[in-house]
Each structure stands twice: as C-alpha cells, then as structure tokens.
Amino acid sequence: MELTSTAYVILGMLHWRPRSGYEIKSAVDSSTRFFWAASYSQIYPELKRLEKLGLVEGEAAPQGGRQRRVFKVTAAGRRELRKWLERPAETFELRSEGLLKLFFSESASPERGIELLREQAARHAANVEQLREIESELDKGGYPYLVLRNGIEFNEWASDWYERAARQLARRAKAAA
C-alpha cells in the first residue's frame, strides 16, 4: 500500500487521540509544520482515502451546528504507521523560499540580498521564540521534545548564519563601493 507523507502525519496525529480534520490541522500547525507541513487541501482528501482503506474510522460529531467528523486510527492504521516507522527515512527536503530568493538575488540590488538575509534571520529568531513557548508544554524526555529541541537549535543556528551572511555581504558591498 502506497501512502503519502500526509497520510502518515494523519496516522501519527490520530495515534495520540481521535481528532477532526480541523484538529489535525491545528496540531500540525503547532508541531510538525516547522519541519513537515500539511494543508487542509491535503488532510481532508487523505482522511477520506485512509477511511476507504480501513486505516481510520470517522464518526459524525456535530459541534455548535457545524458538521464535523472525528476520526480515530484503526488497528490496521496503527500497523501501517509502525511499518512506516520501521523503514529508513527516504526523503530529506529543505524548502525555503528565503534561500530560493537569496540564490537568485543577484538579479536584484545588493541591498535587497542583505535585506533578504536579515529578514530570514528575524524569521528564524521568531521561530525560536514560538518553539520555546511550546517547549514548556512537553515531556522533557519524550520523542516530540527531542524533535522540538532540534527545531530550536536549528533555528538558532540558522538565525546566526543569516546574520553572519548579511554582515559578509554588507562588507563586500562596502568594499565594492
């Protein structure tokens, strides 16, 4: 059975507890989105597919007049999640629009490249602050905590790297002037 990465995100979130599609998206936005995002347009079709495959079960649970379905992972879904966890990771993908813009920034002014670097430094610093807020809510010995620490340390490093690169480009621009 060939499942998408989004399917495994869903199975993992439902392994912890039953959730609606909205709750899955909220959980993703406050946890895995820092390294693996999922959108509503991915989550809802994938929930339907997982239900057809018998890996999750959905149940109507209207709330405040809104239609809502809450899903739980089935035994088959737990087995599929475990099989996926036992396989080596196949994908390493770093997607950063900031790095992509930096790569092509020679097409803009030298000042814009420096601005891009400083914007990215600030963004990573803001990520550190967000992740530190989450840190107090987690069990310090658990796997999610280890992943959170990776995010904090990576973003601290990235913020520092972008600042150093901005200073380097500023010195280069000053020397060229």
pLDDT tens profile 27-58: 999 889 888 899 999 999 999 999 999 999 99
Report the predicted TM-score, pTM, of the whole model to 2 decimal places. 0.81
For residues 113 and 50, membership in a common domain is answered with no
Q: Look up the domain containing 73 and give its range.
A: 5-86
For residues 104 and 82, membership in a common domain is answered with no
What's the structural domain count of the chain? 2
Helices (H), 17-142: 21-29, 40-52, 75-86, 97-103, 110-135
For residues 120 and 166, membership in a common domain is answered with yes
For residues 137 and 104, membership in a common domain is answered with yes
Q: Is residue 92 part of a domain?
A: no
Domain termination site, one of 86, 114, 147 = 86
For residues 101 and 81, membership in a common domain is answered with no
pLDDT value for 58: 97
